[in-house]
């Protein structure tokens, strides 16, 4: 027989007390929610009042319209809205974001974000700017507000919802530029994508990412999805062969005084520390022995003049400047003689990779006499003569101190130095966008105790957080306030977002796409310094906007790996340097241009048509007599010197492009010297076929054909002169 379970008097009393407390709490909650005047209720009443005013104004305007069905429909719509507004009662508006498994109550107060008529209203009623929240983009039914703007989605007061109270510091509200930091959660960007790549509708993030990568923050910090460049700063193991110690100390003390746009930051080191670091660096190598071939033309004014001309002819000014403005891809050369020795300059121009294997500087393929002329000219470029360091830097203790400082200061984050392994020496940036405030050191700063303010100041003035116990090692990059804000936006994007459903992840820029890979190589090689692509780039080399449509991909791949001069020296002195592209890089660039022109890749040359004897005769007459093509163009170096040699056009060009170009050269190059001959369709056809067969013609046959037409032309001219 089971024993019945009965509560004791004590248990019953406790249960009654507990039930009473629960009932009281529920009653209090209901009273607070429905009887007291909660802030959000006042906001909703203000919104209704504003909407009623706007509706009444719109209704008055509608009534003044001409009578008709359009007027009646508009009045009916507005009267219906007025009725709904008069009956409106405050209520919590909550969207359940199913995919993200979270609720969003932001629109309880932000009632006008989807309504264009509130564009001129102030917060919290203003319309959301841009078209970000359109249903086909980031509709509020799927994204709410919290997915992009963070904050506390169920909060119903300003401080709670915006995360401005102590226990909500993990996800404070992101407003303005900072809200762009959320874009990266769904639209990932990595170091496989060019530094200057643009993320649509996120200008601050785009600029911040470019600055972060461009100033080589990855030299010291690790960031998930991003990989440091192979060659950030030059190798310093042989610096004694390049520069004078006094120049090196001046450079470290204030790099931007020498090159305003240098990536090298200011480490704000005391003079004694700079001296010690210099002693260590110069202990790793010895000055080079003066080489007669490097100094042979130094005092020769004619050589200096030739060197100045060569600097332009070789395309050096596509990357460098010599006007002191320091706006090029490479450093400004207006003070290069203060920095480098003639011997180093000679060796560098001859083959930059011998000094720095990862350099972006291509090999110019210039003969010894041209290098000497260049060195002669460059050795004249200085504003002041660097004084040789009088005090010896050979003290072993000084060198040892310098070695220690070199490691501690973070020089190896960008430079390969001695036995030090190049690598990271600063805290990782993984998750920095959600770093806890209690992990931050604010020192004596007067900024708000939140992550955004801390990061903004850290980027603009790192030493502001210095304390005796925790010294700041991060150097000063000299960023403006606006640049610092953009870098802040990027840093806030580096946070662990594991709540993004797979279906919401969408690459705006595919890192594996041909266009992306090619764009990155073009950026790293500074192709735009010399060439124009679209509406960007220089004019040192030919326009590449239609390169994919023009060039046979196989020829272009071979050319990129082993460039040759195509255009005559007298017309186009600039020559393409050797960048040392690997096969896969050259193929990626070729595919990039084909993709840009929306043409086939790989390309299969159309089967060549064999011209009839009659058409061949017509083609030769057009070439040698009608338009006298040989006057400007050469074949196997024989002929004119104005246009490119035509002997290998069948290998170099796409046949369909040759035909389009002959039809209208100015369509591709507005100022091209090639005239528009206004050929008839049949002439275009036979000329295209003739040109695309040039590589198959034996030299003896070409000479015989040319002589025949030359003789015929001379005979014709003689006959005309005789008749006169």
In the block, tokens 């003079």 appear at: 271
Helix (H) or strand (E) holding 532: strand 532-533
pLDDT of residue 709: 87
Provide CB contacts within 8 A for 218, sequence distance 6+: 191, 212, 226, 227, 228, 229
Q: How far apart are CA 549 and CA 708, in angstroms?
A: 35
* Other Cβ atoms within 10 Å of 4 Cβ, number: 5
pLDDT of residue 12: 80
C-alpha to C-alpha distances, 307 to 297, 316, 370, 539, 550, nearest whole angstrom: 10, 11, 7, 21, 34
pLDDT of residue 242: 93
Q: How far apart are CA 591 and CA 202, in angstroms?
A: 28
pLDDT of residue 33: 59
Q: How far apart are CA 718 and CA 155, in angstroms?
A: 99
pLDDT of residue 162: 87
Which has the closest alpha carbon to 43: 103, 121, 150, 119? 121
- pLDDT means per 10 residues in the chain (724 residues)? 63 82 81 69 93 92 89 91 90 92 93 93 93 89 92 88 68 91 92 91 96 91 85 88 92 92 91 95 86 89 95 91 85 93 94 91 93 96 67 87 91 89 83 88 86 92 82 88 96 88 89 92 93 91 92 94 80 82 94 93 77 92 91 87 87 92 91 91 93 90 89 81 69
pLDDT of residue 425: 75
Q: How far apart are CA 258 and CA 339, in angstroms?
A: 10
Is 653 strand, coil or helix? strand
pLDDT of residue 26: 82
Q: The whole model's pTM is what?
A: 0.85
Two tokens at 522? 């073009």
Q: Check if the beta carbon of residue 344 is closer than 8 Å to that of residue 291.
A: no
pLDDT of residue 677: 93
Which has the closest alpha carbon to 221: 520, 473, 517? 473
C-alpha to C-alpha distances, 44 to 33, 57, 351, nearest whole angstrom: 14, 20, 72
Residue ranges of alpha helices (H) inside 152-202 are 158-161, 183-186
pLDDT of residue 38: 83
Which has the closest alpha carbon to 239: 354, 355, 384? 355
Q: How far apart are CA 395 and CA 407, in angstroms?
A: 19
Q: How far apart are CA 564 and CA 365, in angstroms?
A: 10
Burial of 91 (0-12, 13-18, 19+ CB in 10 A): exposed
Q: Check if the beta carbon of residue 552 is closer than 8 Å to that of residue 651.
A: yes
pLDDT of residue 279: 95
pLDDT of residue 390: 46
Supply the Cα-derived Rg of the chain in whole angstroms. Answer: 36
Cα torsion 143, 145, 151, 157 to 10°: value is -130
pLDDT of residue 448: 86
Q: Check if the beta carbon of residue 486 is closer than 8 Å to that of residue 273.
A: no
């Amino acid at each position: 027989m089971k024993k019945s379970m009965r509560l004791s008097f004590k248990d019953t009393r406790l249960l009654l007390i507990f039930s009473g407390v629960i009932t009281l709490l529920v009653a209090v909650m209901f009273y607070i929610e429905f009887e007291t005047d909660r802030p959000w209720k006042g906001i909703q009443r203000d919104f209704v009042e504003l909407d009623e005013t706007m509706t009444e104004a719109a209704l008055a305007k509608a009534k003044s319209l001409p009578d008709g069905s359009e007027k009646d429909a508009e009045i009916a719509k507005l009267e219906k809205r007025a009725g709904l507004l008069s009956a409106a009662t405050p209520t919590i508006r909550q969207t359940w974001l199913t995919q993200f498994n979270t609720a969003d109550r932001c629109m309880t107060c932000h009632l006008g974000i989807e309504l264009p008529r509130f564009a001129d209203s102030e917060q919290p009623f203003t319309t959301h700017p841009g078209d970000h929240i359109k249903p086909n983009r980031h509709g509020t039914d799927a994204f709410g507000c919290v997915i992009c703007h963070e904050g506390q989605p169920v909060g119903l007061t300003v401080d709670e919802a915006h995360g401005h109270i102590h226990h909500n510091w993990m996800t404070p509200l992101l407003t303005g530029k900072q809200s762009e930091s959320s874009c990266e959660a769904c639209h990932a960007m990595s170091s496989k994508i060019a530094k200057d790549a643009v993320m649509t509708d996120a200008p601050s993030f785009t600029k911040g990412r470019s600055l972060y990568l461009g100033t080589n923050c990855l030299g010291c910090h690790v960031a998930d999805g991003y990989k440091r460049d192979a060659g950030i700063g030059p190798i310093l193991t042989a610096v004694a062969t390049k520069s004078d110690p006094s120049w090196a100390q001046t450079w470290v003390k204030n790099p931007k005084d020498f090159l305003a746009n240098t990536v090298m930051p200011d480490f704000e080191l005391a003079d004694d520390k700079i001296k010690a670091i210099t002693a260590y660096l110069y202990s790793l190598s010895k000055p080079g022995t003066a080489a007669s071939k490097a100094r042979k033309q130094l005092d020769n004014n004619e050589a200096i003049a030739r060197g100045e001309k060569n600097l332009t002819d070789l395309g050096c000014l596509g990357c460098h400047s010599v006007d002191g403005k320091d706006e090029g891809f490479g450093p400004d050369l207006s003070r290069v003689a203060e920095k480098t020795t003639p011997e180093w300059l000679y060796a560098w121009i001859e083959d930059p990779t011998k000094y720095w294997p990862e350099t972006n500087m291509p090999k110019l393929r210039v003969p010894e006499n041209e290098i000497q002329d260049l060195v002669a000219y460059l050795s004249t470029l200085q504003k002041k003569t660097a004084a040789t360091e009088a005090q010896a830097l050979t003290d072993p203790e000084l060198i040892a101190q310098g070695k220690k400082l070199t490691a501690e200061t973070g020089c190896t984050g960008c430079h390969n130095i001695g036995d030090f392994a190049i690598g990271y020496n600063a805290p990782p940036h993984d998750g920095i966008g959600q770093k806890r405030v209690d992990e931050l050191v604010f020192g004596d700063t007067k900024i708000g105790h939140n992550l955004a303010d801390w990061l903004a100041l850290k980027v603009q003035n790192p030493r502001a957080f210095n304390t005796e116990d925790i010294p700041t090692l991060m150097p000063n990059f000299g960023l403006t306030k606006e640049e610092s804000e953009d870098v802040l936006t990027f840093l806030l994007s580096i946070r662990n977002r594991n709540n993004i459903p797979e279906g919401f992840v969408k690459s705006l820029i595919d890192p594996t796409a041909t266009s992306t890979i090619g764009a990155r190589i073009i950026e790293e090689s500074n192709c735009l310094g010399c060439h124009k692509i679209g509406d960007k780039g220089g004019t040192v080399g030919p326009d590449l906007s239609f390169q994919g449509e023009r060039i046979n991909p196989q020829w272009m791949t071979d050319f990129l790996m082993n460039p040759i001069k195509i255009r005559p020296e007298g017309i186009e002195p600039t020559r393409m340097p050797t960048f040392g592209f690997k096969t896969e890089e050259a193929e990626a660039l070729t595919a990039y241009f084909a993709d840009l022109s929306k043409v086939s890749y790989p390309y299969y040359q159309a089967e060549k048509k064999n011209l009839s004897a009659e058409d061949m005769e017509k083609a030769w007459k057009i070439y040698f007599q009608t338009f006298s093509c040989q006057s400007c163009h050469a074949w196997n170096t024989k002929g004119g010197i104005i246009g490119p040699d035509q002997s290998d056009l069948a290998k170099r060009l796409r046949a369909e492009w040759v035909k389009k170009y002959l039809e209208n050269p100015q369509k591709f190059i507005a100022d091209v010297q090639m005239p528009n001959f206004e050929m008839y369709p049949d002439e275009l056809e036979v000329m295209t076929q003739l040109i695309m067969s040039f590589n198959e013609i034996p030299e003896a046959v070409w000479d015989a054909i040319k002589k025949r037409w030359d003789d015929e032309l001379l005979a014709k001219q003689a006959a005309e002169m005789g008749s006169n």
